[in-house]
Amino acid sequence: MNDAFFIKLGWWLFVVSACFFVWAAWRAGDGVALAGAIAFLAANISFMIPVYWHRK
């Protein structure tokens, strides 16, 4: 296993945790927490784009 594997694993774990935050906020009915969780998920996905999209 190399560094790239652990970088991708870390980002995917952040995405999974963000999904759980979204789910918890949805179940709680807290709109502010839901907005924050969705923003956290979007930020994680935006940080993952350069990891998977390699320009030559």
- pLDDT (tens digit per residue) in 29-52: 999 999 999 999 999 999 999 888
pLDDT at residue 56 is higher than 90: no
What is the extent of the structural domain holding 20? 3-52
Count of residues making up the chain: 56
pLDDT of amino acid 44:
95
pTM across the whole model:
0.83
Exposure letters 2-23 (e unless 16+ CB within 10 A, then b): eeeeeeeeebeebbeebeebbe
Residue 14 confidence class, pLDDT cut points 50, 70, 90: very high
More confident residue, 4 or 40: 40
pLDDT of amino acid 54:
77
* Number of domain units in the chain: 1
Helices (H), the chain: 3-28, 31-52
Please identify which residue in the block is written with the tokens 């991708």: 8
Tokens encoding 32: 């502010």
